[in-house]
Amino acid sequence: MNISAKKQEPVQIRSILVIDDHPLYCDALASTLERLFKSRTVKKANSLQDGLRQVNSRLRPDLVILDLKLPDATGISGFMKVKNRLPDVPVLVISAESSDESVSALMSAGAAGFIPKDASVNVLQEALFEIREGLRFFPPGFTPTKRSAQSDLTSQEIAQKIADLTPQQNRIMKLICAGKPNKQIAYEMSLAEATVKAHITALLRRLNVSNRTQAAVMVKSVSLDGAPPIPEADARAMLS
């Protein structure tokens, strides 16, 4: 899939939804956006579920700014859920994991832009300006990775399968990837072991794999992990 900066229709940014599980960073980002856009509406959510709930109830944002690494999402599955819910709304992804492979996967999946979580406010301004003009924003120094169209399609299909998991199944899948046995998963989730086994059977069916190991390999193939979480003490300074 081509990830070139294809010109889109200009976007009027009147309302923005920020989804980030780091409260301090989320508050700082929202404050920065309010300063940049003056009277524009900026809503905040600290989880994917909360963000999607706001969209359901009372909000139709012109732009979503999404932290890639959320506790209730795996890899780019959170991004896919947002795009499924808001297919015509540009999504600007922010993440501490900013390898060329990660950026390429997200841009191929339809992200409007990507900025590293330690980017300056000037980079954020530039990204917002380009998105408003109908352009896609690539982070400074980004070099597209050479991936076949079939490879891109496979990554998106996997991410979509993960996005289709229920919140309970998604949490169980995270524990499976962490190497937890069924008994430990049942204890951590306060569920009967038989209930955990039923959830695992259902999620294996959704992912179209036959065992836990295959499921873990599939999920990790699109997890885009590799960067430590951003320290709280640095969050506000990054947007000052």
pLDDT value, residue 37 = 79
Query: Any idea what DSSP says for residue 230?
Result: P
pLDDT value, residue 47 = 93
pLDDT value, residue 151 = 45
pLDDT value, residue 226 = 47
pLDDT < 50 stretches in the chain: 1-5, 148-153, 226-236, 238, 240
Whether the model clears a pTM of 0.75, i.e. scores above it, the answer is: no
Question: Helix (H, G, I), strand (E, B), or coil: what is residue 210?
Answer: coil
Q: How far apart are the first and last CA of the chain?
A: 36
Q: In this predicted model, what pLDDT tens digit does every residue of 169-193 receive, in sequence order?
A: 888 988 888 888 899 999 999 999 9
| Token couple for 77 | 């599955």
Q: In this predicted model, what pLDDT tens digit does every residue of 39-57 receive, in sequence order?
A: 578 999 999 999 999 987 6
| Token couple for 37 | 């856009």
pLDDT value, residue 1 = 39
pLDDT value, residue 43 = 92
pLDDT value, residue 5 = 45
Burial of 45: CB neighbours in 10 Å, binned 0-12, 13-18, 19+: buried
Q: Would you put residue 203 in left (φ > 0), alpha (ψ -120 to 50) or beta? A: alpha
pLDDT value, residue 137 = 92
